[in-house]
Amino acid sequence: VVLAAMRENGFALRHASCNLQSDKEVVLEAVRKAGFALQYGSSNLQADKDFVLEAVREDGRALRYASAELRADKEDLVLLAARREDLESEVPMEMGHWQQEAGIDKT
């Protein structure tokens, strides 16, 4: 029932118990429907690079809910950004030319 609810509306995770917000299967269903639901996932899931990538695949702006460690890791950001052009507004300005590092030609 819970997984079906997450598939229907990922933001339902906001109302889930802490146990469910830590359950990888439940949160994965939520972020596949709505990447922004990552904000309601546990801090462990927000720090999991592969898990964050799933959220970012659905909505690049979900990166803002990744752990500070992931957001601070330039290599991880470049890898994530390379998969989503809409991440440009989420990648810190001090990273410089992340598109070039990721091999993205914006011209």
d(CA 56, CA 61): 7
pLDDT mean over 28-48:
92
d(CA 80, CA 60): 9
| Confidence tier at 91 by pLDDT (50, 70, 90) | low
> What global pTM score does this model have?
0.68
pLDDT mean over 38-67:
89
d(CA 81, CA 96): 13
d(CA 21, CA 102): 32
Instruction: Please give the pLDDT value at position 8.
Output: 75
